[in-house]
Chains A and B, each alone.
Chain A
Amino acid sequence: DVKVTQSSRYLVKRTGEKVFLECVQDMDHENMFWYRQDPGLGLRLIYFSYDVKMKEKGDIPEGYSVSREKKERFSLILESASTNQTSMYLCASSKQGDGNTIYFGEGSWLTVV
């Protein structure tokens, strides 16, 4: 079974802190994604990566950056956390190619106080 593991399930951070959310997948997938999920807004794509060291902005990249130094790992970075970044963050991965299933991690609940 494909496994996408998010390092932290629940985090509480202070405004202005630098926050790292880590994600690892074990199926040699080329594509990796970071989404955030908020009530009434559904899932919104922050960043995605289709190869090591490659990244593309999604719909809401402002205030975030990402890093993909190894194929299996995709990190989301909040350079200076703000309260409006309190949310559920979901990492996902998939094989390259049209119509492939996207596999999600269990999510990281981030609260910024």
Chain B
Amino acid sequence: SQQGEEDPQALSIQEGENATMNCSYKTSINNLQWYRQNSGRGLVHLILIRSNEREKHSGRLRVTLDTSKKSSSLLITASRAADTASYFCATDAGTGFQKLVFGTGTRLLVSP
């Protein structure tokens, strides 16, 4: 079963613009993670936010978490063509065990 649902499914922007992706989930969580996947490759971890945190930054990435709405957002500032990839949110679904459940992803295209 899918825990996370990303929105939008696809996003196309110009270099220099900001990209915002949203993730909604269904059950309570201990933490939420964002991953990136270049076309045809494996996933790479970007950032983790715990359920007691509301916002976290890492370089050009900003993640927010609203547990009351069961949603998270990933903001990439000053996008570059190299940011073109699919982005997935993943939650532990409150299992207490590190079994992540992934959403369907947002495909981001950043044009030069």
Q: Which of A's residues lie within 8 Å of B, judged by CB?
A: 4, 31, 33, 35, 40-45, 48, 50, 56, 58-59, 88, 90, 92, 94, 96-107, 109
Q: Is B30 an interface residue (CB 8 A)?
A: yes
- Which residues of B have CB within 8 Å of A88? 40
**Bound complex: CA of A107 vs CA of B99, how far in Å?**
19
**Bound complex: CA of A44 vs CA of B90, how far in Å?**
11
User: A96 is contacted by which of B43, B98, B102, B105 (Cβ under 8 Å)?
Assistant: B98
Decide: A42 and B105 in contact? CB cutoff 8 A: yes
Decide: B99 and A45 in contact? CB cutoff 8 A: yes
For B102, give the chain A residue with the smallest CB separation.
A43
**Bound complex: CA of A42 vs CA of B23, how far in Å?**
13
Decide: A107 and B42 in contact? CB cutoff 8 A: yes
- Going nearest first, the 3 A-B pairs with the smallest beta carbon separation are A104-B42, A42-B104, A43-B102
**Bound complex: CA of A50 vs CA of B48, how far in Å?**
21
Q: A35-B102, A102-B90 are in contact. List 19 more A-B contacts (CB 8 A).
A: A33-B99, A40-B104, A42-B2, A42-B102, A42-B104, A43-B102, A50-B97, A88-B40, A90-B43, A94-B98, A96-B98, A98-B92, A99-B30, A102-B43, A102-B45, A103-B45, A104-B43, A105-B42, A109-B40
Distance in Å: Cβ of A112 to nearest Cβ of chain B: 19
Decide: A98 and B105 in contact? CB cutoff 8 A: no
Decide: B99 and A104 in contact? CB cutoff 8 A: no
